Amino acid sequence: MKRVVVTGMGLRTPLGHDADQLFDRMLAGETGIRPQPAWAEVGELGASLGASVEDFDEQVIPRKYRRTMGRLAQMSVASALDAVAMSELPAEVVAGERTAVIAGSTVGSPHAEEVFWEHLLTRKSARGVRSTLFFHGMSHTISANVALMVGARGEVMATNSACASSTQAIGVAADRIRAGRAEIALAGGGEELHVASAIVFQSLGAVSSQASPDAAPRPFDRARDGIVVGEGAAMLVLEEREHALRRGAPILGEILGFGTTCDAEHMANPDPAGMMSAIRACLRDAGDVSTIDYVNAHATGTPAGDAAEAQAILELVGDGVPVSSSKGHLGHLLGGCGVVEAIVCLQAMRRGVAPPTRNLADPDVAPIRLLREPHEAPLHRCLSTSFAFGGVNAVLLLGDEPGARS
């Protein structure tokens, strides 16, 4: 079986636009969650917090390419460009038939959808609809625009499975490389902040009504009352290990295992058994795994979801492994959360410190080892979990590639 390593990463998040900045701010206990005053115009909406990406300069992308990109694709393409630059891959190698692009989001650009439907419903006319709106809003807007930007001519796929989207993208990309169908893959995903997301989660009884970032979200905490939606994007460069070694590439980590399953029980209610099935599938895929050093939990701050995940972690990983959630720092990036949290795991292994869970004061879940402060320790294997509506579960095991630790 071919091995798959990470040689580049790029991101745009509410806590910064590079992995070191993001991780430093998480260790410092900072948050990218902010009040969203414009949302007050929406009647009966209880949510007022969101996590937005600030100071994003879309002009890093040439204008001729930006025409087919909404904000979602722009953040993703900018992230992909950074990831390719970090990987030190020559442009002519990326622009080949052995490079795949696999990325996902919950939807395309919601702002593009809003513009389209506002035009149709107010004007009742097809005249004047911008031809580029479709490319902004299409479900595969990230993967198609990234491929166009870098010239990748291999497989292009979209893994649109809500909050599991970008975790599935990484796993599927790793599988394509293992199978010999690609040597290089750009994998990840993102989401664009829009009030529609808050409305949807409120309709499901899953959004926080708190008004302060110091009060929400509260992963694993007794006072948790729901998620805070956010935006962001990230992309990884994955390579077949021997391909990376031959060119002396900087290796940031390894994709050791991937598992994805479906609860097939309920569209919205979490199922610990389904979560455990995905973790078991991931560990089977990784082979003989003797230890896990850290779990970056999906933990969004919903009462049922966090409790179910803690139970699954306790039964399969145990009560001694450090666990934390990134959501208190970043909000819920929906389709983008998996890839950003994979980068958090890579940073944790590189730095030898696991980040804390922000806003955790009084845990009321199964007795797992939840981190409230940064935890310094050698970290060689990190588990990252993503669980989505529809009962879709996706889990990655990442390793600190040097030495191929057993």
C-alpha span between 158 and 165 (Å, rounded): 8
Q: State yes or no: is 266 an active-site residue.
A: no
Tokens of 96: 């080949």
Do the strands 156-158 and 99-104 form a parallel or antiparallel pair, or are they unpaired? parallel
Q: State yes or no: is 298 an active-site residue.
A: yes
Q: State yes or no: is 332 an active-site residue.
A: yes
- Plot region of 134 (φ>0 → left; ψ -120 to 50 → alpha; else → beta): alpha
Choose, from 17, 111, 140, 298, the residue flagged as catalytic: 298
Question: What angle do helix axes 141-150 and 71-87 make, rounded to 10 degrees?
Answer: 40
C-alpha span between 157 and 172 (Å, rounded): 9
**Contact between residue 196 and residue 106 where contact means Cβ atoms under 8 Å apart:** no
Choose, from 140, 163, 243, 337, the residue flagged as catalytic: 163
Buried b (16+ CB within 10 A) or exposed e, 21-54: ebbebbbeebbbbbebeebeeeeebebbbbbbbe
C-alpha span between 35 and 52 (Å, rounded): 10
* Cis peptide bond upstream of 272, omega within 30: no
Choose, from 332, 337, 375, 380, the residue flagged as catalytic: 332
Residue numbers annotated as active site: 163, 298, 332
